[in-house]
Amino acid sequence: MYKKKIQNIIKDNNLSLKKIKIIAVSKKQNANVIEQAILSGINNFGENYVQESIIKIKKLKKYQDVKWHFIGKIQSNKTKKIAHYFSWCQTVDRKKIAILLNKFRPVYLPPINVLIQVDGFKEIKNNKNYIEKYQSLATSISLMPNLNLRGIMAMPLIKKNITESNIQYENIKNIFFQLKKQHASIDTLSLGTSFDIKESLLATSNMLRIGRDIFNK
Ligand SMILES: *Cc1c(COP(=O)(O)O)cnc(C)c1O
Protein backbone atom coordinates (compact mmCIF):
# COMPACT_ATOMS: atom_id res chain seq x y z
CA MET A 1 0.00 0.00 0.00
CA TYR A 2 1.54 3.29 -1.10
CA LYS A 3 0.57 5.24 2.01
CA LYS A 4 2.33 2.82 4.32
CA LYS A 5 5.35 2.73 2.03
CA ILE A 6 5.57 6.53 2.00
CA GLN A 7 5.14 6.75 5.76
CA ASN A 8 7.92 4.26 6.36
CA ILE A 9 10.32 6.06 4.04
CA ILE A 10 9.49 9.34 5.72
CA LYS A 11 10.04 7.90 9.17
CA ASP A 12 13.28 6.11 8.31
CA ASN A 13 14.76 9.24 6.75
CA ASN A 14 13.32 11.94 8.99
CA LEU A 15 11.46 13.64 6.14
CA SER A 16 8.45 15.86 6.63
CA LEU A 17 5.13 14.25 5.72
CA LYS A 18 3.01 17.34 5.39
CA LYS A 19 4.99 18.59 2.45
CA ILE A 20 4.29 15.65 0.17
CA LYS A 21 1.43 15.88 -2.30
CA ILE A 22 0.06 12.76 -3.98
CA ILE A 23 -1.28 12.86 -7.52
CA ALA A 24 -3.41 9.83 -8.42
CA VAL A 25 -2.54 8.95 -12.00
CA SER A 26 -5.89 7.98 -13.49
CA LYS A 27 -5.02 7.35 -17.13
CA LYS A 28 -7.17 4.55 -18.53
CA GLN A 29 -9.39 4.55 -15.43
CA ASN A 30 -13.03 5.36 -16.08
CA ALA A 31 -15.04 8.13 -14.43
CA ASN A 32 -16.75 5.74 -11.99
CA VAL A 33 -13.46 4.47 -10.67
CA ILE A 34 -12.14 8.02 -10.32
CA GLU A 35 -15.33 9.03 -8.53
CA GLN A 36 -14.72 6.28 -5.97
CA ALA A 37 -11.22 7.67 -5.45
CA ILE A 38 -12.64 11.18 -4.99
CA LEU A 39 -15.10 9.86 -2.42
CA SER A 40 -12.22 8.19 -0.60
CA GLY A 41 -10.56 11.60 -0.24
CA ILE A 42 -8.23 11.96 -3.22
CA ASN A 43 -8.34 15.42 -4.81
CA ASN A 44 -5.54 15.51 -7.36
CA PHE A 45 -5.57 13.44 -10.54
CA GLY A 46 -3.00 13.09 -13.30
CA GLU A 47 -4.07 12.42 -16.88
CA ASN A 48 -1.96 11.63 -19.97
CA TYR A 49 -4.39 11.76 -22.88
CA VAL A 50 -6.33 14.92 -23.65
CA GLN A 51 -9.35 13.44 -25.42
CA GLU A 52 -9.90 10.71 -22.85
CA SER A 53 -9.41 12.99 -19.87
CA ILE A 54 -11.84 15.71 -20.94
CA ILE A 55 -14.72 13.24 -21.07
CA LYS A 56 -13.93 12.29 -17.47
CA ILE A 57 -13.36 15.87 -16.31
CA LYS A 58 -16.78 16.86 -17.68
CA LYS A 59 -18.49 13.91 -16.01
CA LEU A 60 -16.93 14.76 -12.67
CA LYS A 61 -17.41 18.51 -12.90
CA LYS A 62 -19.53 18.70 -9.76
CA TYR A 63 -16.48 17.88 -7.62
CA GLN A 64 -15.16 21.40 -7.65
CA ASP A 65 -12.26 20.77 -5.29
CA VAL A 66 -10.70 18.25 -7.63
CA LYS A 67 -7.60 19.43 -9.44
CA TRP A 68 -6.57 17.91 -12.76
CA HIS A 69 -2.91 17.67 -13.74
CA PHE A 70 -1.90 17.11 -17.33
CA ILE A 71 1.14 14.78 -17.27
CA GLY A 72 1.22 13.44 -20.84
CA LYS A 73 3.24 14.36 -23.87
CA ILE A 74 1.97 17.68 -25.25
CA GLN A 75 1.18 18.28 -28.89
CA SER A 76 0.66 21.94 -29.77
CA ASN A 77 -2.81 21.31 -31.22
CA LYS A 78 -3.94 20.09 -27.77
CA THR A 79 -2.78 23.12 -25.80
CA LYS A 80 -6.12 24.90 -26.07
CA LYS A 81 -7.97 22.05 -24.40
CA ILE A 82 -5.30 21.65 -21.74
CA ALA A 83 -5.49 25.37 -20.98
CA HIS A 84 -9.27 25.12 -20.57
CA TYR A 85 -9.62 22.00 -18.46
CA PHE A 86 -6.53 21.58 -16.30
CA SER A 87 -5.25 23.32 -13.15
CA TRP A 88 -1.73 22.07 -13.72
CA CYS A 89 0.34 21.26 -16.76
CA GLN A 90 3.41 19.26 -15.69
CA THR A 91 5.04 18.48 -19.01
CA VAL A 92 6.06 21.80 -20.52
CA ASP A 93 9.37 21.18 -22.26
CA ARG A 94 9.61 23.98 -24.79
CA LYS A 95 8.81 27.64 -25.15
CA LYS A 96 6.34 27.16 -27.98
CA ILE A 97 4.07 25.12 -25.70
CA ALA A 98 4.30 27.73 -22.93
CA ILE A 99 3.32 30.49 -25.37
CA LEU A 100 0.27 28.55 -26.52
CA LEU A 101 -0.88 27.68 -23.00
CA ASN A 102 -0.53 31.32 -22.02
CA LYS A 103 -2.49 32.40 -25.07
CA PHE A 104 -5.33 29.91 -24.58
CA ARG A 105 -5.75 30.08 -20.80
CA PRO A 106 -9.22 31.59 -20.28
CA VAL A 107 -9.13 34.93 -18.45
CA TYR A 108 -11.86 33.83 -16.02
CA LEU A 109 -9.56 31.09 -14.66
CA PRO A 110 -6.52 31.60 -12.43
CA PRO A 111 -3.14 31.16 -14.17
CA ILE A 112 -2.42 27.53 -14.98
CA ASN A 113 0.29 25.99 -12.75
CA VAL A 114 3.22 24.92 -14.87
CA LEU A 115 6.05 22.47 -14.30
CA ILE A 116 8.99 22.20 -16.67
CA GLN A 117 9.65 18.61 -17.67
CA VAL A 118 13.33 17.83 -17.38
CA ASP A 119 15.25 14.87 -18.66
CA GLY A 120 17.65 13.84 -15.92
CA PHE A 121 19.14 11.08 -17.98
CA LYS A 122 19.86 12.87 -21.23
CA GLU A 123 21.75 15.48 -19.25
CA ILE A 124 24.28 12.89 -18.08
CA LYS A 125 25.51 12.65 -21.65
CA ASN A 126 25.13 16.30 -22.55
CA ASN A 127 26.69 17.45 -19.27
CA LYS A 128 28.02 20.97 -18.90
CA ASN A 129 25.53 23.67 -19.72
CA TYR A 130 22.32 21.77 -19.48
CA ILE A 131 21.00 24.03 -16.77
CA GLU A 132 21.01 27.03 -19.08
CA LYS A 133 18.28 25.77 -21.34
CA TYR A 134 15.99 25.15 -18.37
CA GLN A 135 16.85 28.56 -16.93
CA SER A 136 15.93 30.19 -20.18
CA LEU A 137 12.60 28.34 -20.39
CA ALA A 138 11.86 29.15 -16.73
CA THR A 139 12.47 32.84 -17.33
CA SER A 140 10.15 32.86 -20.35
CA ILE A 141 7.39 31.11 -18.41
CA SER A 142 7.76 33.41 -15.42
CA LEU A 143 7.05 36.39 -17.67
CA MET A 144 3.78 34.98 -19.02
CA PRO A 145 0.79 36.36 -17.07
CA ASN A 146 -1.49 33.34 -17.50
CA LEU A 147 1.09 30.81 -16.36
CA ASN A 148 2.29 30.23 -12.81
CA LEU A 149 5.73 28.62 -12.76
CA ARG A 150 5.70 26.12 -9.88
CA GLY A 151 8.72 23.91 -10.52
CA ILE A 152 9.87 20.87 -12.42
CA MET A 153 8.68 17.38 -13.24
CA ALA A 154 10.75 14.37 -14.26
CA MET A 155 10.35 10.78 -15.24
CA PRO A 156 13.67 8.98 -14.63
CA LEU A 157 14.52 6.07 -16.88
CA ILE A 158 14.76 2.72 -15.17
CA LYS A 159 18.44 1.84 -15.07
CA LYS A 160 20.08 -1.37 -13.94
CA ASN A 161 23.25 0.63 -13.55
CA ILE A 162 22.86 2.11 -10.10
CA THR A 163 25.38 4.91 -10.72
CA GLU A 164 23.57 6.18 -13.80
CA SER A 165 20.34 5.93 -11.92
CA ASN A 166 21.69 7.96 -9.00
CA ILE A 167 23.10 10.60 -11.34
CA GLN A 168 19.67 11.09 -12.88
CA TYR A 169 18.13 11.89 -9.51
CA GLU A 170 21.08 14.12 -8.63
CA ASN A 171 20.71 16.04 -11.89
CA ILE A 172 17.00 16.52 -11.39
CA LYS A 173 17.46 17.72 -7.82
CA ASN A 174 20.23 20.03 -8.96
CA ILE A 175 18.13 21.61 -11.72
CA PHE A 176 15.27 22.06 -9.25
CA PHE A 177 17.38 23.95 -6.70
CA GLN A 178 19.09 26.08 -9.35
CA LEU A 179 15.75 27.23 -10.74
CA LYS A 180 14.21 27.68 -7.30
CA LYS A 181 17.00 30.11 -6.40
CA GLN A 182 15.92 32.31 -9.28
CA HIS A 183 12.13 32.08 -9.05
CA ALA A 184 10.25 32.66 -5.82
CA SER A 185 7.14 30.95 -7.24
CA ILE A 186 8.91 27.59 -7.50
CA ASP A 187 7.90 25.17 -4.76
CA THR A 188 7.21 21.85 -6.50
CA LEU A 189 9.41 18.94 -7.50
CA SER A 190 7.16 16.35 -9.15
CA LEU A 191 9.23 13.20 -9.11
CA GLY A 192 8.36 9.61 -8.30
CA THR A 193 5.92 6.94 -9.46
CA SER A 194 4.88 3.63 -7.88
CA PHE A 195 8.26 2.10 -8.49
CA ASP A 196 10.66 4.84 -7.38
CA ILE A 197 8.99 6.44 -4.38
CA LYS A 198 12.03 6.03 -2.17
CA GLU A 199 14.64 7.37 -4.61
CA SER A 200 12.38 10.32 -5.34
CA LEU A 201 11.67 11.28 -1.76
CA LEU A 202 15.37 11.09 -1.00
CA ALA A 203 15.94 13.43 -3.95
CA THR A 204 13.61 15.89 -2.11
CA SER A 205 10.53 15.28 -4.24
CA ASN A 206 7.39 16.79 -2.76
CA MET A 207 4.91 15.59 -5.39
CA LEU A 208 4.49 11.90 -6.22
CA ARG A 209 2.50 10.66 -9.21
CA ILE A 210 1.11 7.27 -8.27
CA GLY A 211 -0.91 5.15 -10.67
CA ARG A 212 -0.71 1.40 -10.19
CA ASP A 213 -0.25 1.51 -6.42
CA ILE A 214 -3.53 3.41 -6.05
CA PHE A 215 -5.82 1.97 -8.71
CA ASN A 216 -4.68 -1.65 -8.80
CA LYS A 217 -5.50 -2.12 -5.15
C1 LIG B 1 1.62 6.51 -15.69
C2 LIG B 1 2.42 7.61 -15.14
C3 LIG B 1 2.73 7.69 -13.78
C4 LIG B 1 2.29 6.63 -12.77
O5 LIG B 1 3.03 5.47 -12.90
P6 LIG B 1 2.69 4.20 -11.99
O7 LIG B 1 3.81 3.29 -12.23
O8 LIG B 1 1.38 3.67 -12.45
O9 LIG B 1 2.65 4.69 -10.57
C10 LIG B 1 3.45 8.79 -13.33
N11 LIG B 1 3.86 9.76 -14.17
C12 LIG B 1 3.60 9.72 -15.48
C13 LIG B 1 4.09 10.81 -16.35
C14 LIG B 1 2.88 8.64 -16.01
O15 LIG B 1 2.62 8.60 -17.32
**Ligand 1 proximal residues by C-beta, below 6 Å:** 25, 27, 48, 71, 155, 193-195, 209-213
Q: Which of 129, 139, 141 is nearest to 174 (CA)?
A: 129
Q: Which atom of ligand 1 is nearest to the CA of 90?
A: 13
Question: What's the rounded Cα separation, in Å, for the pair 68 and 49?
Answer: 12
pLDDT in tens for each of the 217 residues of the chain? 888 999 999 999 998 877 899 999 999 999 999 999 999 999 999 999 999 999 999 999 999 999 999 999 999 999 999 999 999 999 999 999 999 999 999 999 999 999 999 987 776 666 667 788 999 999 999 999 999 999 999 998 877 788 888 888 999 999 999 999 999 999 999 999 999 999 999 999 999 999 999 998 6
Question: What's the rounded Cα separation, in Å, for the pair 37 and 19?
Answer: 21
To test the pocket of ligand 1, the residue of 47, 71, 91, 117 to mutate (highest count of ligand atoms within 8 Å of its CB) is 71
Q: Give me the domains of the chain, ranges plus CATH numbers.
A: 20-215 (3.20.20.10)
**Amino acid 71: pLDDT:** 98
**Amino acid 121: pLDDT:** 75
Paired sense of beta strands 112-118 and 44-47, if any:
unpaired
**Measured in angstroms, how far is the CA atom of residue 108 from the centroid of ligand 1?**
31
**Amino acid 125: pLDDT:** 61
Q: Which of 19, 70, 55 is nearest to 206 (CA)?
A: 19
What is the torsion angle, in degrees rounded to the nearest 10, for the CA atoms of residue 65, residue 73, residue 20 and residue 5? 110
Question: What's the rounded Cα separation, in Å, for the pair 214 and 210?
Answer: 6
